[in-house]
Structure 1
Amino acid sequence: MKRILLPTDFSENAWNAIVYAVALYQDLDCIFYVFNVYNQPVSGPYTGITSAKARAAIQQAQVENSKKGLENVLSKINSTFKNPKHTFTSVSKYELFDVAVQEVVKTLQIDCIIMGTNGASTLKEMTLGSKTASLIGVVNCPIIAVPKRKNYRRIKEIGLSTDYDIPFSDYGLDPLLRLAALNQSKISVLHIRDRDKQLTSKQVAAQESLKSILKPYSSDFFTLTDIGIATGVHAFSESRKLDLLCVIAKEQDFLKRILNQSHSKSISNHSQIPLLILNIKNFS
């Protein structure tokens, strides 16, 4: 049974990610954990009896809000979805978001995190410390970031953007391969480089290793030259009409390049492709 974590702040974006997740895994037995993290804002040290009482009152209010919010989400889920393969339960924690997610991923043996974003603007914020970004390079399980108002459609083609600077492995690519097998998806590999630069021997070896791993799957390899990383990735994604873009995040470094704020607004506005984010630590 697949275990999926669905972080929610009770927003429309979070609900959209739940809808996407349920559709994505409609044919698999799954348990979905609808997860809310609450943490009172830190405005300064608490001192004295009054401050202690105020802190306790704030925390209790947050407990109640989290409990009520999760009850409402589960009620909406139960009235919206009727898949006998799926089970839903709720979890809440009083903790910093990234710490709470790490704890839950470990204790509940989570296979994947699916969470909503605001699309292009939030993807840009991911390099500046959004909730999604706080998990990159921290949790070992894959993260699927679903843009705002993105409706699920069968994943016919998955893009994999790479610089061939990592040792590919079946284990590291397993989340991508499983999704490709589940949806009978084509995998399109993209490499961007300068025209006058050739692949190093190490990169050639990595490319051959990747080709070997992808041999059982429908796949193509593409190279774009003399184009910026951000522009190239977005142009490739749009021209191929990708249903999912997979990135192997070296913490936040790769995302900082492909989501660089210098790329044009017109390209940013078309960043409506869900991201599958893999942890590079699983490739070592």
Structure 2
Amino acid sequence: MLQILVSTDFSNNSYNALYYAARLFMNKECIFHIVNVCSTENNPDMEKAKLDSSQGLDALVHRLVRDVGENKKHSFKKVSLCSDMTKGVAEYAKANKADLTVIGNKGQEEIKHILFGNNAMQLVREITSCPVLIVPLEIDFKKVDKIAFTSNYARPIAEKNIKALQFFSGLTNSAIVPMVIEENKDDRTAKKNKTDFLRAISENSSKEVALPVFDGKVNTILEFVDLWSIDMLCMVYYPHHFFLEFIGKGIIKELNTKLKVPFLILPNS
């Protein structure tokens, strides 16, 4: 049985993430751990915060069942945490062996200056035990037919991450579309890593798409997602490598404001 963690602050974006996850895993047996960080450990009003959180979680599940319909394959564990927001959720994910953490992205009008909002980016950094799925606020649920995977292959793609990508491909009956931005073409290590990865996913994938950087990497990725009708974008999170390149220079901020498909982030293994 899959263990799906969904972090909520009772906002529209966090509900949209829960709704998307319930639809995505409609045919899978799942326990949804709906986690609300309601206060800090030293809050003198902790008991009231817990009560308010519990009532909010009850209402949230009721709303979900009303919107999606009752699903006997799904059960819900409602959790109110009194802790630091990011560390509490990350520790809960690890302790309860979550298979996936789902986070709602902020709407474009809510974004101030950083990727996914502060809490979501911190969660991406803190959660290293399972993949993280970022769900944009302003999307309706639709069938996933194509999952894009992009990397510069400077490091090998871990077997665990290959299996996670293949799981999502099987779950949605979708094709994996490998995409690479053409740079460092003569890097032998990157070539080997890419060859190994493409061989591993060959049964699930389409032909690789290689693109030059024609108007910055963000626009290259966005054009690719749009032109190839990509339904989900996937990358591996390397804290000090490829992904950091996207965090730097405001690139992920721009991706966040424009990317209109769910973003699956695999942990560095």
Q: Which runs of 5+ in 1 are unaligned?
A: 42-51
Q: Which runs of 5+ in 2 are unaligned?
A: none
Number of matched pairs: 264
Q: Describe the SS at the equivalent of 1:164.
A: coil
Contact 2:113–2:253 (8 Å) recurs in 1: no
Aligned position for 2:177: 188
TM-score normalised to structure 2 length: 0.88
Contact 1:233–1:258 (8 Å) recurs in 2: no
Contact 2:144–2:172 (8 Å) recurs in 1: yes
The offset of 1:83, in angstroms, is 1.2
Residues 133-180 of structure 1 deviation map (CA, whole Å, 9 limit, x = unaligned): 112243220000000131111110011110011112331222211010
Change (3 A) 1:166 1:105: same
**Pick from 132, 140, 152: which aligns with 1:143?**
132
Asked if 1:91 is matched to 2:79, the reply is: yes
Change (3 A) 1:224 1:208: same
Contact 1:119–1:272 (8 Å) recurs in 2: no
Residues 5-28 of structure 1 deviation map (CA, whole Å, 9 limit, x = unaligned): 011111111111111001100111
Q: Please show how residues 1-284 of structure 1 align to structure 2 within 5 Å.
A: 1-40=1-40, 55-56=43-44, 58-80=45-67, 81-119=69-107, 122=111, 125-126=114-115, 130-139=118-127, 140-194=129-183, 197-227=184-214, 228-251=216-239, 254-255=242-243, 257-258=245-246, 260-261=249-250, 270-280=258-268, 282=269
Q: Describe the SS at the equivalent of 1:158.
A: strand
Letter in 2 for 1:16: N
Contact 1:143–1:277 (8 Å) recurs in 2: yes
Change (3 A) 1:130 1:19: same
Residues 111-145 of structure 1 deviation map (CA, whole Å, 9 limit, x = unaligned): 00111112557596228x71121122432200000
Residues 184-220 of structure 1 deviation map (CA, whole Å, 9 limit, x = unaligned): 21111111134xx423110110111011111121322
Letter in 1 for 2:105: T
Within 1, Cα distance between the matches of 2:162 and 2:66?
36
Within 2, Cα distance between the matches of 1:166 and 1:151?
34
Within 2, Cα distance between the matches of 1:252 and 1:272?
26
Aligned position for 1:48: none
Q: Describe the SS at the equivalent of 2:222.
A: helix
Contact 2:115–2:256 (8 Å) recurs in 1: no
Within 2, Cα distance between the matches of 1:115 and 1:181?
22
Letter in 1 for 2:8: T
Within 1, Cα distance between the matches of 2:30 and 2:237?
26
Q: Describe the SS at the equivalent of 1:126.
A: coil
Change (3 A) 1:90 1:240: same
Q: Describe the SS at the equivalent of 2:81.
A: strand
Q: State, as a whole percentage, how many aligned pairs show the same letter.
A: 23
Aligned position for 1:46: none
- Over the aligned positions, Cα root-mean-square deviation in angstroms equals 2.6
TM-score normalised to structure 1 length: 0.84
Of the structure 1 ranges 28-37 and 136-145, higher mean CA displacement relative to structure 2 is found in 136-145
Letter in 1 for 2:33: Y
